[in-house]
Amino acid sequence: MGKLVLYGVEASPPVRACKLTLDALGLQYEYKLVNLLGGEHKSKEYTLKNPQHTVPMLEDDDGKCIWESHAICAYLVRRYAKDDALYPKDYFKRALVDQRLHFESGVLFQGCIRNIAAPLFYKNETEVPRFKIDAIYEAYDFLEVFIGSQPYLCGSGITIADFSIVSSVTSLVGLAPIDPKRYPKLNGWLDRMAKLPNYQSLNGNGAQMLIDMFSSKITKIV
Cα distance between residue 129 and residue 53, in whole Å: 29
Q: How far is CA 58 from CA 31, 50, 76, in A?
A: 10, 10, 10
Q: How far is CA 170 from CA 18, 176, 180, in A?
A: 15, 10, 14
The domains found in the chain, sorted by start residue, are: 4-80 (3.40.30.10), 91-221 (1.20.1050.10)
pLDDT tens, position by position, 41-70 = 999 999 999 999 999 999 998 889 999 999
Cα distance between residue 186 and residue 173, in whole Å: 12
Q: State phi, psi for 192 to the nearest 5 degrees.
A: -65, -40
pLDDT recorded at residue 1 = 53
pTM for this model (two decimals): 0.96
Active site residue 12: yes
Concatenated DSSP letters for 54-91? -S-EEE-TTS-EEESHHHHHHHHHHHH-SSSTTS--SH
pLDDT recorded at residue 81 = 97
Give the pLDDT mean for 80-90: 97
Q: Above 60 in pLDDT, residue 72?
A: yes
Q: Label the pairing between strands 4-8 and 29-33.
A: parallel
Which residues on neighbouring strands pair with residue 59, listed in sequence order? 5, 65
pLDDT tens, position by position, 11-27 = 999 999 999 999 999 99
pLDDT recorded at residue 145 = 98
Q: Above 90 in pLDDT, residue 36?
A: no
Q: Label the pairing between strands 57-59 and 65-67.
A: antiparallel
pLDDT recorded at residue 177 = 97
Q: Quick one: what percent of the chain has pLDDT higher than 70?
A: 99
pLDDT tens, position by position, 113-169 = 999 999 999 899 999 999 999 999 999 999 999 999 999 999 999 999 999 999 999
pLDDT recorded at residue 38 = 84
Higher-pLDDT residue of 1 and 149 is 149
